Chains A and B, each alone.
Chain A
Amino acid sequence: MSDRFVDRYLALMYNPGMEIKYREKKWEMKAGMTARDALKKIGVDPESVLITINGKLVTDDALLKDTDQVKLVAVVSGG
């Protein structure tokens, strides 16, 4: 059984939820989905943000766990 499968199983079984922050907004989400699925749910285009989990840059296939602090960084800045 792969680690990824175990992670997903545990996340779904023991799932108090996690939080995604983007600019001034916050969303409560269930853990166990990928970052890309979470972005889709909250209506954020994955091209327009970078994803950090617990301060670490990740790709959008990263699995979100209940202890994760997810922060989205807008790629558009400056002027």
Chain B
Amino acid sequence: MRCKKCNTDAVINMRHHRLALCGTHYDEWVLAQTDRAIEKYKMFTHDERILVAVSGGKDSLSLWDALLRLGYQADGLYIGLGINDPEPYSDVSLEKTRAFVASDVWRVPTTESDVTSPGTRHTPLLHVVDIEQTYGKTIPQIAREKARGQGRPCAACGLTKRYVMNRIAHDKGYAVLATGHNLDDEVAVLFQNTMRWQTGYLARQAPVLPASREGLTRKVKPFVRFYERETATYALVRGIDYIYDECPHAVGNLTNFYKTLLNQLETESPGSKLAYYLEFLRARSEGLFEKFNPTTELHDCEVCGQPTTAPGRCAFCRMWDVSALVQ
């Protein structure tokens, strides 16, 4: 298949866009689409400091790379979860993240779309929070001990990551927290919530979650319109060395099962995933789910001060048995 723009060999055929592109033109297209999504959903501006949650995977490293090349002040946050059994998943993830920061990948302009020259580009900081060093246990350990985690380490992991991301972003003065969620991630969650008509969750699913209160940081998903295969292609085209393995606890989980089902649908009917998501966003913006999103009164956690729905200790401090603020 040939690139639609230059007629050389294409590296990707996006059937839902009826667009095949070579590496050079795909790279340009991803940057342009990323910038477009940031503007369309009013995610952030060039004057704001952005904290990118990085895992060493293709999505987060690609997002960080694209934001730096687009001239944004993007720093990274890596959370060490201590998932190193049976394979050293967390250790390798951190290694890949550090290697990305130290590499020349994000410094080198490869296309005319790079709006910043390497000399003026933001030099990114990497913040690392090791959960075991900070809170005394790894995620697998806390998941084994607590009701929230029993048989479901993903629940304990998600709560911990959300807490740490918000806290670091807030404490270090970042205006925005950006995550590498792609369209497949969003559609899998949408499908799960639709199957169970979780209207409250549907009402809150969006490319931008505003900071509704002091202590909460605005959360954005600039890659929300890219298919998972598109972010993987960008990483390969850019030469980003990411961790290929899935988290061992994510293998076989419900989200991945839904992703498999939705990919089968996409294969038979190209564009299904994109249409499903965009039409959901349209319905949401027209107020279809508004009544299911009541304003919840938030309280300050009596230990850490972060916002929580119930008075007393927040869910994070309860799970980790935190009785005094850990610095």
Using a CB–CB cutoff of 8 Å, the interface residues on chain A facing chain B are: 45-50, 52, 57-62, 73-79
Q: A57-B12, A78-B57 in contact; A50/B246 too (CB < 8 A)? A: no
Give the distance in Å from the alpha carbon of A47 to the alpha carbon of B12 in the complex: 11
Complex CA distance for A56 and B244, rounded to whole angstroms = 17
A60 B247 Cβ-Cβ under 8 A: no
CA distance A60 to B270 in the complex (A): 14
Task: Please judge, given known A-B contacts A48-B263, A59-B10, A59-B12, whether A77 and B1 are in contact too, CB under 8 Å.
Answer: no
Interface string of B217-240 (1 = CB under 8 A from A): 000000000001100110011000
CB interface residues, B 14-51, toward A, < 8 Å: 20, 23
Contact between chains at A58 and B9 (CB < 8 Å): yes
Q: In the complex, A49 Cα to B58 Cα: how many Å?
A: 14
Instruction: List 14 interface pairs A-B (beta carbons < 8 Å), by A numbering.
Output: A47-B267, A48-B263, A57-B236, A59-B10, A59-B11, A61-B13, A73-B232, A77-B58, A77-B232, A78-B56, A78-B60, A78-B93, A78-B247, A79-B246
Assembled-state Cα–Cα distance A49/B228 (Å): 10
Whether the pair B13, A79 counts as a contact (CB closer than 8 A) is: no
Q: Chain A: which residue is nearest B251 at the CB level?
A: A79
Distance in Å: Cβ of B8 to nearest Cβ of chain A: 12
Contact A78/B11 with A47-B267, A57-B237 known, Cβ cut-off 8 Å: no
Tell me, rounded to whole Å, the shortest Cβ–Cβ distance linking A43 to chain B: 12
The answer to whether B259 has its CB under 8 Å from any CB of chain A is yes
Taking a contact as CB atoms closer than 8 A, the residue among A47, A57, A62, A77 that contacts B233 in the complex is: A57
When chains A and B are docked, how far (Å) is the Cα of A60 from the Cα of B229? 13
How near does chain A come to B56, taking the closest CB pair, in angstroms? 7
Inter-chain contact B244/A73, CB cutoff 8 Å: yes
Contacts of B260 in A (CB 8 A): 45, 48
- By the criterion CB–CB under 8 Å, are B263 and A77 in contact? no
- A-side contacts of B236, CB under 8 Å: 50, 52, 57, 73
B264 at the interface (CB under 8 A from A): yes
Beta-carbon contact of A78 and B59 below 8 Å: yes
| A74 interface neighbour in B10, B12, B244, B264, Cβ under 8 Å | B244
Tell me whether A45 and B57 are in contact in the complex, defined as CB-CB below 8 angstroms, given that A50-B236, A75-B229 are known contacts.
no
